[in-house]
Structure 1
């Protein structure tokens, strides 16, 4: 058998294996929807029943449901992780005028709604797992359909230079339910000029 024929066969096998891997490793759409719905149900039960819920006892009695955008897989994005070499300490303003310290860890850069976007990933000074980050952001829906003080996502590094951000998992801070709580405000780097129509909407009691 000629060398070039063997090479063609080898390349074909590699390509087929790669395609097969992508098809089998891709998350099943129904499984993905079920996972997001399960997380939303968990959030509801926590807000409705948990002793650490931000709702008062009176609010809990009238609480029926959380309001979300429809689940949209397009808002689950793979971002490039750009390390912040200096890892400076950041005093993040809180809704009550105080500040809370976080580490400016990395930037996540991704394409969404036809634009390249960049978000600053913060890390708690007490975080034990260096792959976990806190993401606070605001967008064009803030103050309209979603809480004016922004929303949060807990993100986890899943590649050497990449991280997945699923905006379908965006949730409200405690102060969206109860102004007696103090919550971190999104840093100026995370004020997006696009609409993120995914995740939790504003709470209405």
Structure 2
């Protein structure tokens, strides 16, 4: 076999392997649901059994389950990152009146609910990994089906100019379970005018 034929054969094999990997790497709906369910089970066990849980011992004794919306892949969105050129440190108010310092990093723009939405991504001044962000938001379900003080997401940049936001992973702050905890409030930029019917619902004592 000639050298150029060998090279073409090797290239062909590499392409086939790459394409095959691309298709097998795509997450199936079943795998996605299983992943979310496992995360919810982990969250329940942490709240129920961990020493750092916000629940009192009395609450733990009566704690049976967390309540979530049905898993809906439509609430997993790919957002465009819009950097903030002049990044500033913002003092974010907490529920007890104190404040925490976060860097205003960028905006995540995405399509959902028939409109373009934008959320401010904050980064703790103590964050070591510059691809990790804290996202606190409220929406039209807040104060009704979900906690009135908003919900949280921990998100990670997964593209040069993009980030995945999976609202199925939205969780309650500790103060939703125990008002003695102080929790960051969503910034005004993150008060969505659509209903996010995904993630954790309000905690029922």
What TM-score do the two structures reach when normalised by structure 1? 0.89
Change (3 A) 1:18 1:77: farther
Q: Which residue pairs with 1:51 in the alignment? A: 51
Name 2:86's counterpart in structure 1: 86
> Counterparts in 2 of 1:54-69, with a 5 A limit?
54-69=54-69
Q: Deviations over 1:97-118 (max 9, x none)?
A: 1111100001000000111000
Q: 2-side partners of 1:143 and 1:58: how far apart?
A: 25
Alpha-carbon distance, 1:70 to partner = 0.3
Looking at structure 2, the residues matched to 18 and 91 of structure 1 have their Cα atoms a distance apart, in angstroms, of 47
Alignment of 1:98-113 (within 5 A): 98-113=98-113
Cα RMSD (Å): 1.6
State the shift of 1:49 in Å.
0.3
CA distance in 2, matches of 1:74, 1:194: 14
State the match for 1:177 in structure 2: 177
In terms of mean alpha carbon deviation, does 157-166 or 25-34 score higher? Answer: 25-34
Structure 1 CA distance for aligned equivalents of residues 111 and 153 of structure 2: 18
Q: CA 1:18 to 1:119, structure 2 compared with 1: closer, same or farther past 3 Å?
A: farther
- Tell me the matched-pair count: 190
Give the Cα separation in 1 of the matches to 2:67 and 2:120: 26
Q: Displacement, 1:190?
A: 0.1
Superposition pairs for residues 1-205 of structure 1, below 5 Å? 23-205=23-205
Compute the displacement of 1:21 (Å).
6.8
Greater mean alpha carbon deviation, residues 81-90 or residues 154-163: 81-90
SS at 1:159's partner residue?
coil
Gaps of 5+ in 1: 1-15
SS in 1 for 2:85: coil
1:43-97, Cα deviation, whole Å (9 max, x unpaired) = 0000000000000000000000000000000000000011111110001010011
TM-superposed deviation, 1:17: 10
Per the TM alignment, residue 27 of structure 1 is displaced from its structure 2 partner at its CA by 1.2
Calculate the TM-score normalised by the size of structure 2: 0.89
